[in-house]
Structure 1
Amino acid sequence: MSAILMAAALALPGASSAGSAGLTAAPARTRAMWLWGDQPASEVVDWAARNRVSEIFVHVSPAVLTNGDLGRMQEMKERADPLKIKLRALGGDPAWTTDHAAALAWQRTVVSTGLFSGIHLDVEPYLTDGWTTDLDATVTSYLQLLEKMRGASTLALEADVPFWLGEHTTGRKNVADEVLKRVNAVTIMSYRDTGTGPNSMLSISQDWLARGKAAGKRVRLGAETERLADCPHCTFAEEGATRLRDELAKVDAATRKTAAFAGIAVHRYGTWRALPA
C-alpha cells in the first residue's frame, strides 16, 4: 500500500457473474489482513484467530521457491486450515502494469505451491509515469493484465483498488466497472480514521459498493494502521486499537443491508498488532 495514494486524493462470485442476485452482506466482524512481513507462522495465525481474521493476504516473493520462505508458508497453512482461515497470495508491483510476463511468472509460482485459495493483487498502476503521460494506454494495459491473470489460473482473483478509481474513464467506459468485469472481488483502500459519517471509510466507498452490487461482485473495505505523515486522517496509527475496533464495528452495523459488502481488511499485520490500546 502506498502513502502516495492517500495524499493524492481526499466464497466469491465468479468473474463472469453479473447483477446483485444472491449477494448478501458479509456477517458482522468479517475481517481480513495484509501480511507483508516474514513474521513466524505461529505468531501470525494465533493473532488472526484471536482477532477473528478469516483471510490472510500473505505476501509471496517471486523467489519463494528458492529463498527459504516456503517452509514458513507451509506451516502457516497447516495452522490456518483447522481454524478455517484462508490464505490468499499477495503480490504486486506497479511495473506489472506493463510487465505482464513478470506478473504471470509470479502467479505460476504461487499456483505451484498449492498453498493458496486465491490471488490478492496489489499493482497500483497510478504510481507509474504512464498514469499521467498516457492514461488510456496505462489503463488498457492494466485491464489486459487482469484478464491474463484471471485466465491463467482457477484461483479467485481479487485486486486492491483506490476509492476514487470510478472517477476515471477510458474511452466511454468507467475504469472501476471495467476492473470489476475482470476480477472476482476488490478491496478498496478506503483509508480514513473514522468508519462512518463525512469523509469516512464508508462514505468514500459508496461508489464502489454501488458498482459492486450492480456487477454482482464482492467489495471489501480497507483500514490503515501504518503511520502516514502525509495523511494522518487516513490511518488509525494515532487513534489506536480501541478506536479502530469501535469504528470498524460502526461500518459493520451500517452495512447490514449492503449486498456487495464483503467485510473489512486491515493493513497491515505488523502495525495493527503494534497499535496502542
Structure 2
Amino acid sequence: MKCRFLLLFSILLLMAAPLSAAEMRGMWIYKTDEIAASPEASDALFDFCAQRHITDLFWQVHFTKLENGGRELKNAAPTRAFIQHAHARSLRIHALFGDPSHTLRAKHGIVLASVDGILAFNREEPRDAHFDGVHLDIEPHGLLQWKKADPAQKCDLLTQFVEVNHKAVSRAHTAEPGLIYGVDIVFWLDKTTPEGKPAYPVNYQGVAKDAAQHLLDCVDHVAIMSYRDTAEGKNGIVSLVAKTIAYADTTKAKVFVGAKMANIGPKMEGFYGKTETQMMSALRAVDDTYTSHPGYAGLAFFMFEAFKIMTP
C-alpha cells in the first residue's frame, strides 16, 4: 500500500508541475496495440524514451462505435496497464486520433464522441491509469476536396478545422479541466501574402486571422509537422516554425516542433537515411534557438516505428 501511495503521489506531482521546454520531448506512436499487449515491448519503449529524454507520447487509440452513436475505447485493459507503467517511468500519454474527414462539420460529432470516449475511460479507471491528454491529428489538407479547392474553399475547410478543435477542447476542458489538449498542424497555416496578411484567413467568432493563431488561442499545445531534412537556412525547420512560436509566446499554449525520420514523402521532408547522431546534431539548432521562448514545448519525433531502427 505504501509503495502504491508513493507511486500515485509521484504521478500527481509530475502532472502538477509541467516540465520546462528544454526538458520536454514528444513522439508519435502508431503500433500501440502490439506494444500495450507486450510487457517486453513496453519496457523497450520506456528505455528508448529515457535514453532520449522523451517525456510525452502521442499514443494512437481506436474506438468501437456504440449503438447510440457514442465511441468506446478499444483494448481498455491493456491500455490501462500500459499507462500505469508509463506513468511509473515519468511519461505522459496523450490519446492520438483523427482523420482528414473529421474536418467537415458533418463529422464533428464523431470527434466529440471520441473525446467523450477518452473522458469516460478516465472516469472509470484509477487515477494513475488516466490519459494525460487528447491529441487530434485531423489534417484538412489530406481531404480529396482540398487538392481541388480554390483559396476561398481552403479557407472554409480551415474554418471548419478550427471549429471542431474549439468544440473538442471546450468539451475536454469542461469535463476534465486538467486534461491536456493538443493538435497536429502543418507549418504553412500561418503563411502570409507579400502584403503581410494571412494567406488562408479564418474568420472565427468575428475575428479574422490564420488557423494556427486561432488554435493557439484555445489549445494547450500544437505539434507542428515542420518536416525538413535540415534545421537551418531559409527552408529549414527553425525558420518554418518562427511565426508560430512567436505567437505562442503571447498565449498559454506551447509548440512541439516535429521532426520526421519515417520513409514517407519526399526526401527533403525528413531525416530518413541519416543517422540518429546526424539528425540530433542538426536539431540542436532548434533547441538552441527556441528553448528560451515560453511558447516552445520541445522537439517531437515522427515516429517511434522509424526512430527505433535508425542507425545510431
The alignment's TM-score, normalised by the length of structure 2, stands at 0.75
Does 2:113 align with 1:118? Answer: no
Kindly tell me: are residues 237 and 141 of structure 1, through their superposed partners in 2, closer, same or farther at Cα, counting changes over 3 Å? Answer: same
Q: Is the 8 A contact 1:33 1:265 kept in 2?
A: yes
- The residue type paired with residue 47 of structure 1 is F
Shift of 1:130: 4.3
Amino acid at match of 2:156: A
Indicate how the Cα distance of structure 1 residues 27 and 257 shifts in structure 2: closer, same or farther if over 3 A, else same.
same
- Tell me, yes or no, if structure 1 residue 275 matches structure 2 residue 299: no
8 Å CA contact 2:159–2:211 kept in 1: the answer is no
| Percent identical residues | 24
Q: What's the counterpart of residue 206 of structure 1?
A: 242
* Equivalent residues of 1:166, 1:175 under 8 A apart: yes
* 1:175 corresponds to 2:211: yes
> Where does 1:25-174 land on structure 2 (aligned, <5 Å)?
26-27=21-22, 30-38=24-32, 39-40=34-35, 41-63=42-64, 65=72, 67=74, 69-98=75-104, 99-114=107-122, 115-131=130-146, 132=149, 134-154=153-173, 155-167=179-191, 168-171=200-203, 172-174=208-210
Q: Please give the per-residue CA displacement for 1:69-114, whole angstroms capped at 9, x wherever unaligned.
A: 3233222212111222100110110111120111111111112222
- Please tell me whether Structure 1 or Structure 2 has the larger radius of gyration of its CA atoms: 2
CA contact (8 A) 1:25 1:257 kept: no
Return closer, same or farther for 1:212/1:78 CA change in 2, 3 Å cut-off: same
- Name stretches of at least 5 consecutive residues in structure 2 with no aligned partner: 1-13, 36-41, 65-70, 123-129, 174-178, 192-199
Q: 1:158: Cα distance to partner?
A: 0.8
SS of alignment partner, residue 214 of structure 1: coil
- What is the number of equivalent residue pairs in this alignment? 254
Deviating 4+ runs (over 4 angstroms)? 64-67
Aligned residue number for residue 271 of structure 2 = 236
Aligned equivalent of 1:248, options 271, 274, 283? 283
- Compute the TM-score of the two structures, normalised by the length of structure 1: 0.84
Are the aligned partners of 1:143 and 1:182 in contact in 2 as well (CA < 8 Å)?
A: no
Equivalents in 2 of 1:142, 1:239: separation in Å?
Answer: 34
Question: Are the structure 2 counterparts of residues 25 and 81 from structure 1 closer, same or farther at C-alpha, using a change threshold of 3 Å?
Answer: closer
Report the alpha carbon displacement of residue 241 of structure 1 after superposing the two structures with TM: 1.1
1:276 CA displacement: 1.7
Higher relative contact order (CA 8 A, sep 6+): 1
- Residue 140 of structure 1 and its aligned partner are, at CA, apart by 2.2
Amino acid at match of 1:87: I
Mean Cα displacement is larger for which, 186-195 or 174-183? Answer: 174-183
Mapped partners of 1:50, 1:233: distance in 2 = 27
Which is helix-richer, 1 or 2? 2
Counterpart of 1:21 in structure 2 is none
Give the secondary-structure state (helix, strand or coil) at the position aligned to 2:46: helix
AA at the equivalent of 2:215: V
